[in-house]
Amino acid sequence: MLEQEGISYVALDLDPDRVVAAVAGESVVFGDAGRRESLLAAGLHRAATVAITYANTPSAMRVLHNIHELAPTLPVIVRTVDDTDLEKLTAAGATEVILEIVEGSLMLASHTLVLMGVPMRRVVRRVEEMRDERYSLLRGYFRGADDTDDDDGHEQVRLQSVPIDEKSEAVGHSLDDLGLVGNGVEVTAIRRHGIRDVEPGPETKLRANDIVVLRGLPEVLAQAEERLSRNRRAA
């Protein structure tokens, strides 16, 4: 899917046979994603996001720890079997955790509904609604004004992480005070001392060195980032 969208990537794999057999050529390389050196060699500092595609919590925790130290604002999507380690992975900095059991259940239910005669359009809508409720990155997407199919990628909802500098005038102010509530941008998470607040409220006050994860259209994201990055002396 990344190749179809023209998005470059680097995949790390510890199985030499899979690396040799990979049709992606130089995009798939031998390396341990749990090692800082491997992440840096793969171009972590140039990456827009990281996806941990295997379900292994101890390994994922090592990867999250290294990414938090090397590139603390980088979004990370993590795969896991069920919700046993959901809170642990979220607290370690996972932007989103994809549960195999949830996706498997959605596919099982959707196929059952189709075989029972429920119209395909209604089944697809049901699945979208369930994913909307489960995944914070998709929340509100399927029913929002941004539900478009723009092949050029213009005006699409996206995520952006903004670090809060010690000199930022946002320090000590709540999300409501900063105009980040109901203004076309959603604060999906705040990372503080390596701990992720999943659903910060309007009253949440920002502190120095917080990392604020925003969701919205490019124009409002740029405005929100400018507001959060503005230093006191420039006010």
* 70 and 110 in a common domain: no
* 106 and 89 in a common domain: no
* 121 and 184 in a common domain: no
User: At which of 60, 76, 94 does a domain end?
Assistant: 94
Tell me, yes or no, whether 145 lies in a domain. Answer: no
Tell me, yes or no, whether 108 lies in a domain. Answer: yes
* 90 and 30 in a common domain: yes
Whether the pLDDT of residue 142 is over 80: the answer is no
At residue 235, the pLDDT reads: 41
Q: What does pLDDT average to over the chain?
A: 81
Tell me, yes or no, whether 144 lies in a domain. Answer: no
* 108 and 44 in a common domain: no
Tell me, yes or no, whether 192 lies in a domain. Answer: yes
* 46 and 15 in a common domain: yes
Tell me, yes or no, whether 151 lies in a domain. Answer: no
Distance, in Å, from the CA atom of 211 to the CA atom of 192, rounded to the nearest integer, reads 7
Tell me, yes or no, whether 4 lies in a domain. Answer: no
The whole domain housing 56 covers 11-94
Alpha helices by DSSP H, 135-212: none
- Structural domain count, the chain: 3
SS (H, E, C) 9-44: CCEEECCHHHHHHCCCHHHEEECCCCCHHHHHHCCH
CATH of the domain at 184: 3.30.70.1450
CATH of the domain at 30: 3.40.50.720
At residue 52, the pLDDT reads: 94
Q: Tell me the per-residue pLDDT of 175-220, one tens digit each, with 9 for 90 and over.
A: 888 887 777 788 877 877 656 655 688 888 888 888 888 888 888 8
Tell me, yes or no, whether 3 lies in a domain. Answer: no
- In terms of DSSP bridges, do strands 158-163 and 211-216 run parallel, antiparallel, or are they unpaired? antiparallel
Question: Which residue is associated with the tokens 């490019």?
Answer: 218
At residue 195, the pLDDT reads: 61
Helix or strand holding residue 216 (H, E): strand 211-216
